[in-house]
């Protein structure tokens, strides 16, 4: 089997983001034959404007994002929760990617996880992402769910996931995403 490629997307632009930290843990914990590459260009994507898409075309950062999505075998999104939902920067990127032609989420396996210092583990943001997956015709992985609450107790000041239960959940989600994607391929 060739290398299985997962594109990791953090919904946070913060340098010390716990959601970026759990993506790094996913990359570290990925089994042999699986590579998790974290997309670093979300902050470069301009605000969505369909006049731009329909006129001069996709801006270069949007094209790069769409190509990264297209090249991946699966997508792993780690999102914080802002105002009971998905951060604007993540929603904006998804809005750009969702436009024709050949929107790259179509038929793509997607897993969702999130970390928060609060108690709900980004549950509402993850639910909103699942609803977006329906429109995108992306196939959201149902289980295992990774909702990391009180993330400050599980991720150290250097951005390393130190809690073994959390590490195990992240690792099991990466494996489940790979297995889900392979099942979908038939």
- Give the Å distances, CA to CA, from 127 to 107, 112, 152: 19, 9, 23
pLDDT band at residue 117 under the 50/70/90 scheme: very high
Tell me, what's the pLDDT at 1? 54
pLDDT tens per residue across span 46-93: 999 999 999 999 999 999 999 999 999 999 999 999 999 999 999 999
Whether the predicted pLDDT of 99 surpasses 70 = yes
With the C-alpha atoms ordered 162, 165, 168, 169, is the resulting torsion angle positive or negative? negative
Residues present in the chain in total: 186
Residue 186: predicted pLDDT? 83
Helices (H), the chain: 18-29, 50-54, 60-71, 88-97, 123-136, 164-185
Q: Which token pair is 38?
A: 């974290």
Residues 122-149 as b or e (16 or more Cβ within 10 Å = b):
bbbbbebbeebbeebebbbbeebebbbb
pLDDT, mean of residues 108-116: 97
Q: CA 173, CA 76: separation in Å to the nearest integer?
A: 9
Check whether 108 has a pLDDT greater than 60.
yes
Range of the domain at 119: 4-185
Beta-carbon contacts of 69 under 8 Å, excluding residues fewer than 6 positions away, are 7, 75, 97, 104, 105, 108
Residue with tokens 């038939």: 186
Q: Please state the pTM of the whole predicted model.
A: 0.97
User: How many distinct structural domains can be found in the chain?
Assistant: 1
User: What is the domain-level CATH number for residue 173?
Assistant: 3.40.50.360
């Amino acid at each position: 089997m060739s290398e299985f490629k997962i594109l990791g997307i953090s919904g946070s632009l913060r340098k010390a983001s716990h959601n970026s930290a759990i993506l790094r843990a996913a990359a570290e914990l990925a089994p042999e034959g699986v590579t998790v590459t974290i997309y670093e260009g979300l902050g470069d994507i301009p605000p969505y404007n369909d006049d731009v898409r329909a006129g001069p075309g996709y801006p270069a950062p949007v094209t790069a994002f769409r190509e990264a999505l297209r090249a991946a075998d699966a997508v792993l999104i780690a999102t914080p929760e802002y105002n009971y939902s998905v951060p604007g920067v993540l929603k904006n990127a998804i809005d750009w990617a969702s436009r024709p032609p050949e929107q790259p989420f179509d038929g793509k396996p997607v897993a969702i996880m999130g970390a928060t210092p609060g108690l709900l583990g980004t549950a509402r943001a993850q639910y909103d992402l699942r609803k977006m997956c329906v429109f995108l015709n992306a196939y959201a992985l149902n289980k295992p769910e990774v909702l990391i609450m009180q993330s400050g107790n599980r991720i150290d000041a250097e951005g390393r996931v130190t809690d073994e239960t959390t590490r195990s959940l992240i690792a099991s989600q990466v494996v489940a995403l790979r297995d889900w994607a392979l099942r979908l391929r038939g």
